[in-house]
Every structure is written in structure tokens, then in C-alpha cells.
Amino acid sequence: MGCGNCEAKPKALGRMTDPLQLFDEWLAEARASEPNDPEAMALATADKVGNPSVRMVLLKGRDGDAFVFYTNDESNKGKDLAENPSAALLFHWKSLRRQVRIEGEVERVSNEQADAYFASRSRDSQLGAWASNQSRPLESRGIFEARYEEMKQQFEGKPVPRPPHWGGYRVVPLILEFWEDRPHRLHHRRVFLAQKDGSWSEGLLYP
């Protein structure tokens, strides 16, 4: 995946920072200050011919160096990622006047990991995953509610298994950019680029 706004490799700084540790620190601060859903992130995907699409999803954790979320594989984002396994993420924490932008390659989580996360969801959310044909046309809300009631009856008194069309994705970052608001739009932008040896190069971008 290309570097987006970074057409050239940024000039390296003297002091190196682990961008994943920095992300964790910023997220912890956001959890203390954001009024709602500090884990919310915009997920941008593109289909096989490059048509883009973006929507909000929730970060469900970091798996090593990857950012993990879950969805219906038959949704529009699931179809995009099957055709073009690259994505961009954006966290915007208005209370802190900060953003984190991420670009990377996308992998599937293991079935065991998806099963474990699905089992941790509320029962209503589990039933909703079975009832919803996500992203497909819906003639009326009543049809969806009726499907949900059918799922309640079908699984009554039994554990709700993970649907075969529902799973998780790991966004393995190639680029992380940390944006901080400064007066007069003289913002501070730090960018980290993944290197082949597993290290990171660090630099600055003009605001």
C-alpha cells in the first residue's frame, strides 16, 4: 500500500518511538476523556477496481502489531476486503484534539479467536448477527425484527454459535500518523513507516 500523503520517506528523527506503544498511550487517554466510544474508528476499504467506501466500526483490541475488528463477511466491507485486502483506519478524539491515521494490509483472525470474541458478546448481539443480512436491502424494519424473533426461538435454551459468515480482521499497519492540533493550524504531525526488518522509521510532515 502507498503512503498516501507521504510521497517521500520522511526525514528520520534522532529519538525513536514505538508507534504502537504511543497509540496505546493515546487510546488510554481517550478512554479517560472521550464521552462515547473512544474505540470508534473510520474504516476505509476499496473494491477490486478501486471504488472506495468508508464507515465507522469499533476497535476490538490489538493482536500483536495489528488492529482487530469484527464484521459480517458478506457485508460491503467484507466483500471489499476479500477482493482487496488493504484498509485505512482513522481515530478522531475530539476531546483531545488528536487523530491517528493508519494504513495497512488486512488478514483474517483465526477461527478460534473469532469464536472466543463472539462468545463474549451479549446474547442479543449474537442473535442479531444471525438475523441480519448486513448491507443488503431491507423492505421494512418489521421483517428484520421478525427474523430476530425467529433466531431467539431457534436458539432458545442453547448457546448461540458464531455464524459461518461472521469473523474478524487484523489490520497490520505499514503507516501510522499521529496528528495533534496546534493554534493557527500549525499542527504537529509525526509519521512512522514500517521497515522490512520489523523496525520503524520516524519523521515529521508539514501540517
What domains, with CATH codes, occur in the chain? Answer: 19-118+168-205 (2.30.110.10)
Whether 185 is catalytic is yes
Q: Per-residue pLDDT for 9 more than 90? A: no
Residue 12 banded pLDDT, cuts 50, 70, 90: very low
> Which is catalytic among the residues 98, 185, 189, 190?
185
d(CA 49, CA 76): 14
Q: Per-residue pLDDT for 7 more than 90? A: no
pLDDT digits over 88-131, tens only? 999 999 999 999 999 999 999 999 999 999 999 999 999 999 99
- The 3-state secondary structure of 22-90 reads HHHHHHHHHHHHCCCCCCEEEEEEECCCCCEEEEEEECCCEECCEEEEEEECCCHHHHHHHHCCEEEEE
Grid coordinates belonging to 120:
463474549
Please give the DSSP secondary-structure letter assigned to residue 98: E
pLDDT digits over 75-93, tens only? 999 999 999 999 999 999 9
Percent of the chain residues topping a pLDDT of 90: 88
pLDDT of res. 134: 87
Residue 177 banded pLDDT, cuts 50, 70, 90: very high
Q: Average pLDDT of 130-149?
A: 92
Percent of the chain residues topping a pLDDT of 70: 93
Residue 10 banded pLDDT, cuts 50, 70, 90: low
Residue 16 banded pLDDT, cuts 50, 70, 90: confident
Residues 135, 76: contact at Cβ < 8 Å? yes
Average pLDDT, the chain: 92
